[in-house]
């Protein structure tokens, strides 16, 4: 591993996580930093704070969708808003921690983000929908599901989420360079500036 790190707290159900993951790639290439992934159970945090995702003014929701299309157009990303939103993401997040055991966490994370935000595949909320993803990455789906459902992995996801909360994460994507926290998809210049100081 290099000396520079970008830590990303993420949840597949977050639109801005999809964009942040894509927009971090050139920053990683330019700086030689390593990406450290931290699954963060946003649904759990929302429930704990009585926040309901889609209970916002219709005009704000409509503008948000239009703005996402602007981002997709600017960065030439094949983004499309999925027909089914939101989805339950805990299985996907536990799956990322399971795939860490096969050194495939990053490949899996990008694959599930693409499946949902590019290919309208809400089926990833269930193991039946995750099976093709892990199979494509060379992992036996039954072994993946067994590990993902284990108490060990369940506790790891809870611990990852709790560590994020303790560090000040209130939503995703949350990006850390050292102790500096950057929230959202539109902070990449600040992230890179912080890396270049180190």
CB-count burial class (<10 Å; 0-12, 13-18, 19+) for 164: buried
pLDDT at 180: 97
DSSP string, 152-179: HHHHHHHHHHHHHHHTT--SSSEEEETT
Per-residue confidence (pLDDT) for residue 182, from 0 to 100: 98
The residues that bridge with 176 in the sheet, in sequence order, are 7, 181
Geometric angle at alpha carbon 46, from 141 and 103, rounded to 5°: 30
Position of tokens 């830590």? 7
Give the model's pLDDT for residue 43.
77
Tokens of 164: 């994020």
Domains and CATH numbers, the chain: 5-196 (3.40.30.10)
**Nearest to residue 139, comparing CAs of 113, 110, 112, 100?**
100
pLDDT tens-digit profile, the chain (198 residues): 458 999 999 999 999 999 999 999 999 999 999 999 999 998 766 555 544 455 667 887 788 889 999 999 999 999 999 999 999 999 999 999 999 999 999 999 999 999 999 999 999 999 999 999 999 999 999 999 999 999 999 999 999 999 999 999 988 999 999 999 999 999 999 999 999 988
**pLDDT (0 to 100) of residue 62:** 81
């Amino acid at each position: 591993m290099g000396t520079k790190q970008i830590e990303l707290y993420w949840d597949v159900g977050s639109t801005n996580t999809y964009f942040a993951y894509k927009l971090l790639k050139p920053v990683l290439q330019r700086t030689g930093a390593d990406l450290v992934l931290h699954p963060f159970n946003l649904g759990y945090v929302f429930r704990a704070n009585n926040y309901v995702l889609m209970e916002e003014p219709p005009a704000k929701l409509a503008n948000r969708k239009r703005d996402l299309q602007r981002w997709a157009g600017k960065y030439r990303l094949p983004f499309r808003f999925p027909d089914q939103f939101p989805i339950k993401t805990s299985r996907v997040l536990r799956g990322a921690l399971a795939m860490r055991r096969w050194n495939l966490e990053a490949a899996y994370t990008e694959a599930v983000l693409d499946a949902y935000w590019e290919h309208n595949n809400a089926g990833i909320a269930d193991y039946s929908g995750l099976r093709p993803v892990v199979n494509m990455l060379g992992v036996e789906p039954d072994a993946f599901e067994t590990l993902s459902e284990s108490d060990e992995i369940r506790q790891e996801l809870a611990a990852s989420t709790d560590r994020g909360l303790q560090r000040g994460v209130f939503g995703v994507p949350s990006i850390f360079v050292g102790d500096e926290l950057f929230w959202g998809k539109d902070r990449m210049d600040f992230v890179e500036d912080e890396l270049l100081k180190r």
